[in-house]
């Protein structure tokens, strides 16, 4: 929840500052915002996959798989 709040706050802040600076800055911030959103979703997917693999390794009591996933 805190991560989502920070992402929303940063997005709103950059949009506000870009709107004050002009149309070109606002448009470029919109493009940069798309890259930020994409990277946030990419990290979410990586995190979910890692959590699933670690949970599977722990429940199977497989230390080797846990070490491999952690690395």
Averaged confidence pLDDT in the chain: 89
Residue ranges of domains in the chain: 2-70
pTM for the structure as a whole = 0.64
In this prediction, residue 53 carries a pLDDT of 93
**Residues in the chain with pLDDT < 70?**
none
Contacts of 33 (CB under 8 A, 6+ apart): 11, 14, 15
């Amino acid at each position: 929840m805190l991560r989502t709040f920070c992402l929303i706050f940063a997005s709103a802040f950059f949009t506000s500052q870009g709107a004050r600076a002009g149309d070109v800055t606002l448009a470029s911030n919109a493009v940069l915002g798309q890259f930020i959103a994409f990277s946030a979703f990419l990290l979410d997917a990586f995190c979910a996959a890692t959590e699933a693999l670690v949970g599977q390794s722990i429940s199977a009591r497989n230390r080797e798989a846990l070490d491999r996933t952690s690395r």
